[in-house]
Structure 1
Amino acid sequence: MAAVIGYARTSTVEQEAGLEAQQRDLAAAGCTRVYAERVSSVATRPQLTEALGYLRDGDVLVVTKLDRLARSVADLLGIIARLEERKVGLRVLSMGGAEVDTRTPTGRLMLTMLGAVAEFERALMLERQREGIAKAKAEGKYQGRVPTAQRQADAVRQLKAEGVRPVDIARRLGIGRASVYRILGAGAA
C-alpha cells in the first residue's frame, strides 16, 4: 500500500506555531508519517533527506507550501526529479488557494510555473532589499548588524589573560575560533 508522507519545516524556533500548523494540516491530509524540522532552507535539511530516503514507488510526499520544500526552482526541479525517478508523487496543499499534485500532467506544469514565479518574486524582494540598504547607507542610517563575537570581546580578552587557549575560548563562548584570533589580534594592534 502506498504511503502518504508529510514534510514540515520552519526556519526558526520562533515559528513554532507555524510548524505545529503544518503538522496539523499534513495529518488532516492523510499523512501517516510526518518529518518536521526547524532549519533554514539553505542549511542541510536532515529530515527532508530522511523523508526522501523513506519514500518508495507509489508513495506521495505532501507539503503545505512550496517554500517549505525547496529553496529555488533548481532545487525544486531536483527534488521532483528524485521523486519521479522513484515513482513518488508530490502534493502541495496550498498554492494560492489550490492544491497541486504532480501525479497529474497539469499538476507538474502548474508546479514548475509557480516555482518559477516564486523564485522571481524572491529575486525582486532581494533586489528591493539591496536598494533599501544602499539608500540607508547613503543617508548614513545603515550600520549593519553588530558582529556577535565582537560583543564578547572583553570576555575573550579576559579568558586569554587567564591562560585559556583560543580554541577553548571559542568553545566556551560559542563563537568561531577565527573570531577569537581576530579579537585577540585587534587588541595587540
Structure 2
Amino acid sequence: MLIGYMRVSKADGSQTTDLQRGELLAAGVDPTQLYEDKASGKQEDRPQLANCLKALRSDDTLIVWKLDRLGRDLRHLVNIVHDLTDRGVGLNVLTGQGAAIDTTTASGKLVFGIFAALAEFERELISERTKAGLASARARGRRGGRPYKMTPAKVRLAAASMGQPGTKIGELCKELGVTRQTLYRHVSPTGELRPDGQKVVGIGT
C-alpha cells in the first residue's frame, strides 16, 4: 500500500498542501491514505506524522513530495527511515534534493546510506566539540552540568525560614523558585544545612 504524508509550515491559510496532494495522488496514493500536518518542520509535535508512521505496515511505502516535509533535521530523518526499514516499509521522495531516495530500490538504498553516514559524522563532530568544550571549561576551573538553582542567599533564607514553626513549605519553595526536593536536598526541616547546602554557601570547601 502507498501512504502519503504532506506538511506546510503555517496553519493560517497562507499555505496549502494542494501541490503536494496533487503530486502524491499522481504517484498512486489513494486519497484516503493521505496524512497532513500544518506545523513547522522543527516542531516535534506533529500528530498526523505520528499517525502516518503508526499506520504503515510491512511492504507499504511512505511517499513524500520533498524530503524536508518529513524530518526535522538529518538525524531525525535518518532515525525515521531506519525505523521504517526495520519494519519492512519503503520510502519514496518524489522531487527536490532527496528525489533519488527510494528505499525500495538498490540505488535508493545507496543514497540513503550516504545520508546515514553524514548523520553519523555530524553526531561524532558534535560529541567531539562537546568533549573539547568540557575539557576547556575544566582547564579554566569550571565544571560541566546545570548550575545550582540554589544560591548562597537562597540557602541562608531557606535555613532561617525552615527553623520557624509558621513556615509553609509550599510558599517558601514558590518564593525561592525551587522544588520541595531541591529545598530538602539543601536544608533539613529544622533549618540545618545539608551537604549540598553547605557546598553552595562554601562551608567545608
Q: Report the TM-score, using the length of structure 1 for normalisation.
A: 0.55
Query: Is residue 2:188 matched to residue 1:188?
Result: no
Partner of 2:136: 135
The CA distance in 1 between the partners of 2:186 and 2:94, in whole Å, is 48
Q: Which has the larger share of strand?
A: 1
Secondary structure at the counterpart of residue 188 of structure 1: coil
Change (3 A) 1:132 1:143: closer
The CA distance in 1 between the partners of 2:141 and 2:49, in whole Å, is 43
CA RMSD in angstroms, aligned pairs only: 4.8
Partner of 1:163: 168
Q: Which has the larger share of helix?
A: 1
Counterpart AA for 1:4: G
Percent same amino acid among aligned pairs?
25
List runs of 5+ in structure 1 lacking aligned partners: 9-18
Deviation sequence 1:137-183 (CA, Å, 0-9, x none): 20346775424x437x84994997632359x958xx6x655334324
Partner of 2:3: 3
Q: Report the TM-score, using the length of structure 2 for normalisation.
A: 0.52
The CA distance in 2 between the partners of 1:141 and 1:26, in whole Å, is 50
Q: How does 1:17-166 map to 2 (within 5 A)?
A: 20=10, 28-30=19-21, 32-35=34-37, 36=39, 38-39=43-44, 48-55=49-56, 58-62=60-64, 63-64=67-68, 66=71, 68=73, 70-71=75-76, 76-82=81-87, 84=89, 88-91=90-93, 97-99=97-99, 100-140=101-141, 145-147=146-148, 149-150=149-150, 154=154, 157=158, 162-164=167-169
List runs of 5+ in structure 2 lacking aligned partners: 25-33, 194-205
Change (3 A) 1:27 1:145: farther
Query: Which structure has the bigger radius of gyration?
Result: 2
